[in-house]
Structure 1
Amino acid sequence: MQDLFLIWESGGLWEMVQDATSHPQAALLKKMWGPPRAPKVKIFSWLLISKRLQMRSHLHRFLPHINPDCPLCNSHNETINHLFGTCSFIQSIWSCTNMDPMSFSTNFDFLTWLGTLPASSTPDGPNALSKALLLCWQVWEARNNLVFKDVTPHPVCVLNVAGQVGLEFWNQNVKHAKGPSAPLHIKWKPPPRGWVKLNFDGSIRNNVAASDFVIRDFDGHVLLAGAKNIGDNTIFVAECMALRDGLAYAIHRVLFVEILSFNHIYREANFTADAVANLGHGLSPSNLWESDLPLNCSVPFFLYLFGPACPRSFCL
């Protein structure tokens, strides 16, 4: 069977939304939409739970020439309860799972039974409801391949494909519950050899903004630093001006021209730039330092050169 594509007007979308609250299986629909599942499986599941799959017994009522019997067993009218619950083909599949097929009586309601399956997240794979829907999806695929392509179905193929699709999607899309994470230790990292790194920052104190930048080589040595008092401004403007000034001076001094790489770093890895930014509040309006930093910035500078990494929220 080819991929299923649905096209509807806005009224159809509203009807779909209404299903989630007014449908007799509203609770099951909510469970179905919740956990991560492959899009194909979710669309099929919505059609199944909403009773919109075109079963032969239903089609026979309007098109009498269509055989109403189940194509998988040819012994009973094809209905949702039969195809997914009591058909000998599906029962051979349920018997390979921890879902007891003997609990399926002749008058049971399959969708009600689906609603009783656990739908909470599990640490080792898809939950019971997801597994059941995956199996139903593959049974429907097998049924269609038999009807339209004359491909003989086999329960083992249904189990294998459903298991592979479900587990692969779960591994790629479900975040495993994590225990307490190890403390994050942060330290300024030098650029690769032959590169320079520009750190910049902005600061506001008493409604006065300052911007700064620090350019260092791969050994951590300061090549150029600058700070500027920019008066009444926002932190966003201060940081943008710091970046602009840093790039302008770097290009002017031919420190780098062609290749740029940007990334955010924590404040704890940017103590030196933070200290230079604080100096900017007392400047009128700016200052440059070449190959060295003022004494006020020596503590964060030497912390990088000789000190250990520090945890988040660490303060100098």
Structure 2
Amino acid sequence: MVETFLGLPLLPRFKMFSWKFLHDALPLSSTVCPKGLPVNPVLIFCHSDLETVSHLFRDCPFISPLWEQGPLTLDGRLLQAKPFNEWFTNLMSDFQRSKNFGGLVSFVSFLWAIWLMRNQCIFRQAVWSPSMTFHLSADWVARVTQAGVFQNQLSSSYRIRSPPLESFMSLRLSGGPTDPLDHCLLFDGAWNCHDNSAGAGCIFREIHSDRVLGGSARAGRTMPGL
């Protein structure tokens, strides 16, 4: 399941966030308190149970009603029917299998909103607010949507176009002057403003396609004379 996160239409921070779910890597109060950090291990929302992954994101009486009221309208009676990790991975798999990427984004965005709300209550002395949690979730859904639109526009507008044949300086190693050219050698360089050094790389490419046959990442490098 972890490997499939890389191919999901989620922001990189959401993929890492989901990975931390499955590896118990979130810095929860009940996790860091036994290691000697002076924190209260009790969840700041309800002040009654330890801050665990399942209690923070699903089972807390302040959180579980929000899953029913939110855009996913999950059945509250089934929330605690499975262990949290199994519940989480099953929902992620269901969204992926049905290609319900809108539901997938809403699901992870709401988990992220709960985490943000928790951090604001702990570090900024904010007051627990269901409406603010929904607002944060909707805001991140909009961000993911905007990022997807931008990515589609970028991928559709950016195409590697071969320069016209007349712009090349050709050198024939074999064949006659009227034989068609098969390959080209492209150079590109960069300048380092910190030490004034410059370098160049090159690739061999087929003349009428973008297929790269080989090349060198550092074909040459120069240092300043002064």
Alignment partners' CA distance in 2, 1:30 and 1:63: 33
Q: Indicate if the aligned counterparts of 2:42 and 2:48 stay in contact, CA closer than 8 A.
A: yes
In the other structure, the counterpart of 2:125 is: 150
Q: Which residue of 2 aligns with 1:104?
A: 79
Q: Does the 8 Å contact 2:110/2:134 carry over to 1?
A: yes
Q: TM-score, normalised by structure 2?
A: 0.60
In the alignment, residue 34 of structure 2 is paired with which amino acid? R
The aligned counterpart of 1:36 is: 9
Q: What code does the residue aligned with 2:82 have? A: F
Contact 1:31/1:119 (8 A) holds in 2: no
**CA-atom RMSD in angstroms:** 3.4
The reply on whether 1:114 has 2:61 as its aligned counterpart is no
Q: CA deviation at 1:122?
A: 7.1
User: C-alpha separation between the residues in 2 aligned to 1:49 and 1:110?
Assistant: 10
Deviation of 1:199 after TM superposition, in Å, equals: 9.4
Q: Paired residue for 2:178?
A: 231
Higher relative contact order (CA 8 A, sep 6+): 1
Identity of aligned residues (%): 22
Answer yes or no: is 1:133 the counterpart of 2:108: yes
Query: With structure 1 as the length reference, what TM-score do the two structures score?
Result: 0.45
Corresponding letter in the other structure for 1:53: L
Indicate how the Cα distance of structure 1 residues 100 and 33 shifts in structure 2: closer, same or farther if over 3 A, else same: farther
Report deviation, 1:146: 0.6
Alignment of 1:1-316 (within 5 A): 27=1, 29-63=2-36, 65-96=38-69, 97-105=72-80, 108-117=82-91, 118-120=94-96, 126-173=101-148, 230-232=177-179, 234-236=181-183
Contact residue 64 and residue 79 of structure 2 kept, 8 A: no
Q: Cα deviations across residues 55-101 of structure 1 (Å, max 9, x unaligned)?
A: 11122222274321101111111100100111122213201132222
- Cα displacement (A) at 1:139: 0.6
CA distance in 2: counterparts of 1:156 and 1:40, whole angstroms: 23
User: What whole-Å deviation, never above 9, does each CA across 1:156-182 have from its counterpart, x for those lacking one?
Assistant: 222222223224423542689xxxxxx
Q: Distance in 1 between matches of 2:77 and 2:96?
A: 24
In the alignment, the residues of structure 2 paired with residue 135 and residue 145 of structure 1 have an alpha-carbon distance, to the nearest angstrom, of 15
Gaps of 5+ in 2: 153-163, 168-173, 185-226
Work out which of the two has the higher radius of gyration on C-alpha atoms and give 1 or 2: 1
Q: Provide the C-alpha distance between the structure 1 equivalents of 2:128 and 2:110, rounded to a whole number of angstroms.
A: 13
